[in-house]
Amino acid sequence: MFSYALIVWLLLFQAPAPPPVQGDVGGVLARAEQLYYDAKFEESIALLLPVDAALKAQPGRATDKINVKLALAVAYIGLNDNARAKNQFSEIIDLDPSYAPSPQRYGPKVATSFDEAKAERTERRCRAFCDAASRELSSGNLKAIFDATASPNSGCGCLAPVMSDAAEYVFRQGIDAYKDEDYAGALEKFRTTLKLDPKHAVAPQYIELTQGKLLLAAEQVFFEWRRNFEAREYGLAALAYHRMRYFDAEGAASRLISQMRGEYAKTLSGYLDAWKRACSVADNATMERTRRQAEEMLPDPAIGESVLAQMTGCVNKTCIQMDSQSALARRKIWSRPENEIPRQFQSLLKNPENRMVYVRTRIDTEGNAAVLLTQGHNASINDAVKAAVSKWKFSPLIVDNQPRCVEADLQIGLSAP
């Protein structure tokens, strides 16, 4: 009995679904328009409201929805009910932000009401947007503030004071970092301040002060580095080198870092000469020790990568030195180096300087190639040429009935795409 009563209650009190759109919407609009011209505004509204409700429940059909809402808004204006008219206009803008009724067809009163609705809608959206931005700033969420500057709502006038407050917030962080002698961090904060407020009164002066502090600190680290480097305290020198990278904010220490790298290259060249002398007398122990010392001296292997590559294997005196043309003529299996170049680097070959690579190559007694060194204008092209040459096979060289290895400086010319 209870179940039966519950079913009856649900059938009686369940909210009815919006009625389906019956007939042609265009026909409904035509009847509503005639009622409007007959000054039967309430009847026009009564005819349109069910159609509007039914269309809301359907996906798409934006044009029909806009036309029905516009007819409702015009009827409400006929009743001097501007509030409800503006509600309809606001919903039209939600459907199509670029829509505007024609003043020639609907008259200036409708156009004015529409413009007022659009302005009020923009004001509401801006206020909500700016309030949200203010809350994000209060919680210290600067990423959200930067996202706001890229938002379609970034033109809201109420956002300006929020951005100004955000700039001041970041500026104070920069001042704290400056006082803590975190000059790189301070410089970043002051730059961010200007992004948020390009007219900030004192951020430019603090940027100039901070750059001066960075340069002074970098020079002090450089003197420390030189003292340790000249004393062959390479471990301490390496620490100073890495500290210098911290002070290179916006290139403040680039000149000093370049000097440091130059000194490393000069000293590394001496190690290479010592390694070659040991190689010439087959002194393997000295070769290994010299290479190890060179590696321990460097704070960053990338500084001496090309030189260290020359210290990876001693070329036996029994290898025949051969010119590039003669060596290339002995290729048996080979592919063009251009095939090894990734698509994103193909355009580099348009520069003539990138189309010539010198490859120091050792060919063993079985014709296998080992690349000892590549020299060219572009590292990506060099890597591709190295990968290609390493796969090449040459005809083994036989001298006096004995197989001999070959060493050659190959000149590899590349074709433009």
Give the percent of the chain with pLDDT over 70. 90
pLDDT for 19 equals 47
Quote the pLDDT of residue 269: 92
**End-to-end alpha-carbon separation of the chain, Å?**
87
What is the rounded distance in angstroms from the CA atom of residue 306 to the CA atom of residue 291? 13
Start-end of H helices in 281-417: 284-297, 305-309, 324-328, 379-390
Structure-model confidence comparison of residues 314 and 347, the more confident one: 347
Mean pLDDT confidence for 297-314: 87
- Quote the DSSP letter at residue 340: G
Rounded to 5°, angle at Cα 164 from 163 and 166:
60
Q: Is the pLDDT of residue 283 over 60?
A: yes
Q: What's the alpha-carbon Rg for the chain, to the nearest Å?
A: 39
Q: How many CB atoms lie within 10 A of CB 243?
A: 16
pTM: 0.44
Q: Give me the helices (H) in 20-102, please.
A: 25-37, 41-56, 62-78, 82-95
Arithmetic mean of pLDDT over the chain = 82
CB 277 within 8 A of CB 314: no
377 CB-contact burial (10 Å; exposed 0-12 / middle 13-18 / buried 19+): middle
Segment among 1-5, 77-81, 94-98, 340-344 with least mean pLDDT: 1-5
The H-assigned helical ranges of 232-283 are 234-246, 254-280
- Band of the pLDDT at 148, cuts 50, 70, 90? low
Q: What angle do CA 319, 324, 327 make, to 5 degrees?
A: 60
Residue 210 and residue 203: Cα distance in Å, rounded? 10
pLDDT value of position 18: 45
Please say if the pLDDT value at position 126 is more than 70: yes
